[in-house]
Amino acid sequence: MEIEKKIRTLRESLHEHNYLYYIKDSPEISDYEFDQLLNTLVALEQQYPEYFDPNSPTQRVGGGITKDFKTRSHRYPMYSLSNTYSKEELTDWANRVEKVLGDEEYAFTCELKYDGASINLTYENGKFVRGVTRGDGSLGDDVSTNLRTLPTIPLTLIGDYPPVFEIRGEIILPFDGFQALNEQRIQRGEEPFMNPRNTASGSLKLQDSSLVANRPLECFLYALAGEDLGVDTQMESLEKSRSWGFKVPDTAKYAGDLEEVFQYLDYWDKNRVHLPYEIDGVVIKINRFDQQKILGHTAKSPRWAIAYKFQAEKATTKLEAVSYQVGRTGAITPVANLSPVLLSGTTVKRASLHNAEQIEKLGLRIGDCVYIEKGGEIIPKIVGVVNENRPEVTHQIKFINHCPECHSVLVKETGEAQHYCKNQYGCPPQIIGKIQHYTSRKAMDIDGLGNETVALLYHQGLISNIADLYELERAALLPLDRMAEKSVDNLIEGVEASKNKPFSKVLFGMGIRYVGETVAKKLVNAFPNIDLLSEASREQLIEVDEIGDRIADSLIEYFGAPSNIDLINRLKNSGVQFHTEISSSSSDILRDKKFVISGVFENISREELKEKIESLGGTVMIAVSAKTNYLVAGEGMGPSKRVKAEKHNIPIIDEASFFELVNI
């Protein structure tokens, strides 16, 4: 017990000194003294491995190896922000907010938009549990081992933190650290990194955490997520997060009106050059959390927040040529091939031209000197032609008439900006793209079938459509390049596991034009099996919420093709799910019932539980009230919800009781 107490005391002391050094910037001991304490702890932990703790300060040095980063779903979606580039658009956004909130007074918070890699951290009882990348907003990669090496991510918290919560932040690489890192690489004869943002993002996916530990990464935190957090506003949440031990820059500002927001924007547009790290704009949020809930979200973005982007850096270069790419839908995208030029820290050689109309609008000619910038400082685009001193020799750009891959005649439909190759069953990029879409994370999420592997299998003649995936044999896969036994096993197991994916995922993965994730769910709710959907009339389809003429026509065209019906039958015979889990006869079992969900659940995420309740006709409420029928309680539920439920005599049920209630 004496040894255990000594180890615990050393850990607490090192955590405290780490906090004082990296967060408070007020160290109380020298680096030498810190290293001596750390070395003592390392020796004790090696001698007494039974006292191992994943959140020990010794884990900061790394050494853990991660071969495959596990995919995890976000309990609370990490939405992207809508962007604006002008004060007029920002005013329009504020007017929309005011229209919803009515006569309620509201205010803003303004925060710098850090340019790095977004991350979501989970803490339970003051201990770091895991860190997951943003990914697609719903699913991300678990990079906990690497994040434990960052000294600005506290492994244990201080103060009055909630029992269970999540916190969002940005992993960044300050300029000084980036420069020092590149100097070391140059001395070793290695290529320097191109920019801090990409280096920070790439560092999170290094397999050896000791390499991450040697990179001067920092984590800035900016948003809490969870239940009963004990804070009511964004500004208060920043202050609380700072008090718990997180690194929260002091650049955020409360703004009582738009004029104060504009002053903040003007200040940082001029002074961002003096910051020791990259930013690409400002995030403006409605300060009060109750008002954020009223405003809600669209499918992609919160209505209570917006990103104001500073004007992007421009560069000039020569348009050398135009090439053409074919997408999975057959859309033809022209691509500008440019003389290489450095822009915002990266070398740009190519830029999308979108379509023939864009080329005509810009008046582009081969040989022109053009202005390029990065849309949102990420995607390069041509924004104009340098008309002064235009070269004497330029060549008109003639948009192609035939597909560059299969040579089919291109079609430009009325009302469409793009040209299309209609040879969807014989054009290689379309075939490969459709299979890649089916296997992608948002669709069937088939482990072991990345984009490169799909292309390899197609070019080797092993697959030509999605149904072929279910007929792949181990013996045919093993001889292929980069396909070791483990890779083949993962692929076969991933394909087999995809047979359990719900009908809505399958329908989205089939790649029917205009049928995205949301539309697929709407259709599955209205037509609980593929036979009902494929036989639905145009009138029946249009009756479904959010299904208009264009989507209805696309569905009728798809199901009218015999080859697609054959494909569906093959998928059916392979065991792929073409019906909903819940029969239509029981879909209203929770009609008129109102639920509040709180806490963390063992076998289902909060979002999945919400979808389950809504699919059965129930309603999910934000707060407990006298109108609530059930409070579904998970681990870490806040005490205030329990008190309110007991006050109104509302049944409090756990996860198992809920499934008993609906007989699932």
Q: 34-90 pLDDT, tens per residue?
A: 777 877 887 888 888 888 888 787 777 666 667 678 888 898 999 889 889 889 999
- Distance, CA of 182 to CA of 486 (rounded, Å): 36
pLDDT at 2: 85
- Distance, CA of 7 to CA of 5 (rounded, Å): 5
Q: Are strands 594-598 and 619-621 parallel, antiparallel or unpaired?
A: parallel
pLDDT at 585: 43
Segment 315-374, tens digit of pLDDT: 899 999 999 999 998 999 999 999 999 886 678 899 989 899 999 999 999 999 999 987
Segment 497-508, tens digit of pLDDT: 999 999 999 999
Per-residue pLDDT, averaged over 436-445, amounts to: 91
| Helix 196-203 vs helix 175-187: crossing angle, to nearest 10 | 80
Per-residue pLDDT, averaged over 517-525, amounts to: 85
Q: Are strands 410-411 and 395-396 parallel, antiparallel or unpaired?
A: unpaired
What global pTM score does this model have? 0.59
Per-residue pLDDT, averaged over 128-151, amounts to: 91
Instruction: Tell which wins on pLDDT, 664 or 540.
Output: 540
Q: What is the CA radius of gyration of the chain?
A: 28
- Distance, CA of 75 to CA of 87 (rounded, Å): 34
Percentage of the residues of the chain whose pLDDT score is greater than 70: 95
Block residue for tokens 């853990």: 64
Of the listed ranges 25-29, 503-507, 607-611, the least confidently predicted one is: 25-29
Helix (H) / strand (E) element for 659: namely helix 655-661
Which pLDDT band holds residue 252 (cuts at 50, 70, 90)?
very high
Tell me which DSSP letter residue 311 carries.
P
Of the listed ranges 93-97, 382-386, 614-618, the least confidently predicted one is: 614-618
Tell me the average pLDDT of the chain. Answer: 88
Which pLDDT band holds residue 118 (cuts at 50, 70, 90)?
very high
pLDDT at 67: 65
* Residue 340 · residue 47 · CB < 8 Å: no
* Residue 632 · residue 598 · CB < 8 Å: yes
Q: Is the pLDDT of residue 487 over 60?
A: yes
- Distance, CA of 373 to CA of 74 (rounded, Å): 33
Is there a catalytic annotation at residue 499? no
Structural tokens at position 118 = 């977004």
Q: Is the pLDDT of residue 432 over 60?
A: yes
Q: In the sheet that 117-124 helps form, which strands lie side by side, from edge to edge?
A: 127-133, 117-124, 164-172, 218-225
Structural tokens at position 481 = 């390049």
CA distances in angstroms from 508 to 71, 166, 264, 438, 515, listed in the order given: 20, 30, 43, 8, 6
Q: Are strands 594-598 and 630-633 parallel, antiparallel or unpaired?
A: parallel
Q: Among the residues of 230-319, which ranges form H helices?
A: 234-244, 258-271, 289-295
pLDDT at 664: 55
- Distance, CA of 167 to CA of 246 (rounded, Å): 10
- Distance, CA of 111 to CA of 95 (rounded, Å): 20
Segment 93-108, tens digit of pLDDT: 999 999 999 889 999 9
pLDDT at 583: 46
Per-residue pLDDT, averaged over 187-208, amounts to: 83
CA distances in angstroms from 25 to 19, 29, 247, 482, listed in the order given: 8, 12, 10, 48
Q: Are strands 630-633 and 652-653 parallel, antiparallel or unpaired?
A: parallel
- Distance, CA of 55 to CA of 241 (rounded, Å): 19
Structural tokens at position 320 = 């050398």
Q: Which amino acid is at 373?
A: E
Q: Is the pLDDT of residue 376 over 60?
A: no
* Residue 326 · residue 430 · CB < 8 Å: yes
Q: Is the pLDDT of residue 584 over 50?
A: no
Instruction: Walk me through the domains of the chain, giving residue ranges and CATH numbers.
Output: 2-61 (1.10.287.610), 83-309 (3.30.470.30), 314-411 (2.40.50.140), 428-500 (1.10.150.20), 503-574 (1.10.150.20), 586-661 (3.40.50.10190)
pLDDT at 228: 87
Q: Which of 6, 24, 87, 113 is catalytic?
A: 113
- Distance, CA of 266 to CA of 647 (rounded, Å): 50
